[in-house]
Structure 1
């Protein structure tokens, strides 16, 4: 940590809160620090350390997780044919690209971290924004992180138990260790996070290129039998098509994660859309040709009976090197979890900064300039979910909820164009793009109601359960909860050596 000897005024990086004994002292201390930092022209705030390459690596790193290695069978199961499966993969990539471009307009118009939460808050107010935060907090993000960590552990341990599944306790403990390690890295230094992301993004792209190269070699060797009738068995029921899209979009999930960290992106007006325009076509192309390789080597029956398509592919084609596929899946999930922890912790940080979560979660460590309490908070919830027996079933209850709130965010883009037509928009996409994306999302949401009414009902119940929480803790907070929150904020400030964010937002 650098210090300037010529000055007696400490740098904002080295400000350490003096001991305080009451909530009133804590509040007074924070006001004094804010005034001091304002007079210095800077403050304790998140640093802009993410460049264009880092942004591309975050998007690609989060998107390319276990999905493309494990779940292509879901698209095939509900498509019915390899031809329609490829069409779904292509359309999912195009749809994700359209959505990402819409989010690029939102992200440059509202240059705040938090993604959907920030956009819904500006467009429709605090209650809908809190409900998104509530669902993301309870299920969507920590459950996704927990499943990614468990997937990593399962595939890393697989070589040690070749003839059976690894013990559940060993998988859970390794997943917990991974989650804790990545949380420490995220707490310590943003540059470490981006370096880990860059390295493991390269690793997973290399793994997919291995699959593609083997598939092309096999195809060029004359093995074209699986492509004689590519559309045979195609399903046409709207509900099944919607489920095929859900499975495809699951593998593209994460295209909006760079919007969660807009405040830490260098020159976001240029780098946000550039990162999107580079990463999304690359991911789509790699996904499509990877599926071509799968379908060339494996029969539909082999894909549908496989728990991990990439591992089955490796067992059939790589011989004594087949151990590489479980290793690559583990590397892929490691990098994906790292990027997810980094981006999603900013969502809770921004929610707390806006008063929708305890203020302690919006504190920033004065040494590392990272939202340490938010990262620890996310880690604790994820660790709890790791040891819940049926954690995998939680994803089924909220898949439609994610589509619902994505629909709401893009509706916000159209609504803001109507209500704030003169607001500066560094990026302004064609009106046709949000309309197409909105219609597609509405189709997926409505189809879910008819195809999976139980899951939709439970997801809706989770959303509605946030309404009384909002009125009891935010709209008209109960006095004892307010006092408890202030005491918690005071303790976190002292324990984690943190301060509130000093950067001002309109």
Structure 2
């Protein structure tokens, strides 16, 4: 046991591995699921592409802030390390508490539910009658919980297994997105049909082919905001959304889709040559993601037409199935499922390092700060994280729109701490001016100040979005954070040296 406690992480992640971690986490299913609603709120192709571009630039600003902090403190823990250095142990503990109970299990649960939804959808094409005999919610909970446990098991086997799993998922999802982009550039552009103003008769959908309960981040919002393409319901007037509110909510969803670029800082101690590879991975990953997202939006507009994109609920399948045949629907569903697994694996891999860092510094949580020498992994942290995430899945699985409720539950808390981290950059510049900083954010202090303003606006918009729910998830999240603030007074004392 003593050997395990003194074992430290090994530097096994190359620049390519680090870029794969970032792209694997960021490029999930949001590009397929949020785009229709963002398109509806944007109102035109130019504004849509502009929103995605601006969102990417905001994420790039944030990535540069994290690049300076990560290269200044190249050890596992990410935000926890930065907040502890700037504000003290109590703030660092409060962040890990929020990550432990709110942010991390919610994000893992989101991706697990998306994997369940689209893997189920792919199976429907193969054995519809067999699936019809089992309730959809049973499949959803089983697949979501199973994905978390299997990927946690792979990460228990060590950094090498976890990183190879991440690399395979990342390459697969990027290849799939490039196929969608290629189809959009090669296939004939969409030609709008003759508009029929009268409502069509409701479509008959076989129970076996019905999509499982919607679990996308925009499901609740889009249910009334977008037209039902199956029944021919008329599109509601957009006047109910003031232009500024529309753009703010669209930006919340865009930045949700870009979310995860900060995760590489959690495994900084395992990156080779962190002084140069950390900031390169952040910038290369974000620029690559921006290009992929912009090209994907362009391809979808070309394949579906703007109105078709703004009204679609299964955008990827709708774009390819009519052109490439019914099996394309199954293929696209598998693509989205694989994408969600990549994001899920990346979050499991990075999140466990955060809890390990807390355990390595605070005596109360020392049982988490054990690095297993045999498997070269923080097994206890991975196990505890998986248990909490599965409990979150079971808890939110009772909601019809589980993904939407998890977004509302965690997003305001996430943006609050991102704001705190960026403010820590200013504090550390003042408190520790002589600290070696291999990467310094350009245009200081204006660039980080601009990102701070964006954080405030996104926090406000996401909090308003959370309050729209009748389930009061935001209040539960605030309650958990408040409890952590009280506990921090008693347990956030560092180990005596």
Deviation, structure 1 residue 79: 2.5
User: Aligned residue for 1:499?
Assistant: none
User: Aligned residue for 1:245?
Assistant: 251
- Counterpart of 1:279 (choices 285, 300, 308) is 285
- Counterpart of 2:25 (choices 28, 51, 62) is 62
Q: 1:222 to 1:46 in 2, by over 3 A?
A: closer
CA distance, structure 2, for counterparts of residue 463 and residue 88 of structure 1: 32
- Show the 5 A alignment for 1:146-295: 146-162=109-125, 167-218=136-187, 221=188, 223=190, 237-295=243-301
Q: 1:199 to 1:160 in 2, by over 3 A?
A: closer
Aligned pair 1:330/2:337, yes or no? yes
Aligned pair 1:92/2:55, yes or no? yes
Aligned pair 1:435/2:449, yes or no? yes
Q: 1:348 to 1:464 in 2, by over 3 A?
A: same
Q: 1:373 to 1:453 in 2, by over 3 A?
A: same
Aligned pair 1:75/2:25, yes or no? no
What are the Cα deviations for residues 156-197 of structure 1, in whole angstroms up to 9, with x where unaligned?
A: 222333479862112222222221111111111211111111
CA distance, structure 2, for counterparts of residue 447 and residue 356 of structure 1: 38
CA distance, structure 1, for counterparts of residue 480 and residue 44 of structure 2: 35
CA distance, structure 1, for counterparts of residue 314 and residue 307 of structure 2: 13
CA distance, structure 1, for counterparts of residue 137 and residue 441 of structure 2: 48
Q: 1:196 to 1:449 in 2, by over 3 A?
A: closer
Aligned residues, how many? 435
Aligned pair 1:348/2:351, yes or no? no
**Equivalent position SS for 2:261:** coil
Q: 1:327 to 1:467 in 2, by over 3 A?
A: same
CA distance, structure 1, for counterparts of residue 423 and residue 74 of structure 2: 18
- Counterpart of 2:96 (choices 133, 136, 159) is 133
CA distance, structure 2, for counterparts of residue 201 and residue 137 of structure 1: 25
CA distance, structure 2, for counterparts of residue 263 and residue 136 of structure 1: 20
- Counterpart of 2:488 (choices 456, 470, 474) is 470
Aligned pair 1:52/2:15, yes or no? yes
Q: 1:142 to 1:447 in 2, by over 3 A?
A: closer
TM-score (norm 2): 0.81
CA distance, structure 2, for counterparts of residue 52 and residue 505 of structure 1: 36
Deviation, structure 1 residue 72: 1.1
**Equivalent position SS for 2:260:** coil
1:361 and 1:373 in contact (8 A); partners too: yes
User: Aligned residue for 1:425?
Assistant: 437
- Counterpart of 2:383 (choices 369, 376, 379) is 376
Aligned pair 1:317/2:297, yes or no? no
**Structure 1 residues 368-377 or 462-471, which shifts more?**
462-471
- Counterpart of 1:405 (choices 392, 402, 417) is 417
**Equivalent position SS for 2:456:** helix
What are the Cα deviations for residues 379-427 of structure 1, in whole angstroms up to 9, with x where unaligned?
A: 1111112222234313213212211111110111011112221211111
CA distance, structure 2, for counterparts of residue 87 and residue 375 of structure 1: 39
Deviation, structure 1 residue 130: 1.9
**Equivalent position SS for 2:11:** coil
What are the Cα deviations for residues 214-261 of structure 1, in whole angstroms up to 9, with x where unaligned?
A: 11123xx454769xxxxx989763332221111001111110111010
What are the Cα deviations for residues 292-350 of structure 1, in whole angstroms up to 9, with x where unaligned?
A: 11112224454344333212222233214312100111111112211111011111111
CA distance, structure 2, for counterparts of residue 505 and residue 51 of structure 1: 34
Q: 1:87 to 1:380 in 2, by over 3 A?
A: same
User: Aligned residue for 2:70?
Assistant: 107
1:77 and 1:244 in contact (8 A); partners too: no
- Show the 5 A alignment for 1:5-44: 17=1, 30=2, 43-44=6-7
The structure that has the greater radius of gyration is 1
CA distance, structure 2, for counterparts of residue 76 and residue 433 of structure 1: 28
CA distance, structure 2, for counterparts of residue 441 and residue 136 of structure 1: 18
Deviation, structure 1 residue 59: 0.5
1:403 and 1:441 in contact (8 A); partners too: yes
- Show the 5 A alignment for 1:111-122: 111-122=74-85
1:238 and 1:447 in contact (8 A); partners too: no
- Show the 5 A alignment for 1:483-502: none
Deviation, structure 1 residue 369: 2.0
2:189 and 2:303 in contact (8 A); partners too: no
Aligned pair 1:461/2:479, yes or no? yes
Q: 1:95 to 1:108 in 2, by over 3 A?
A: same
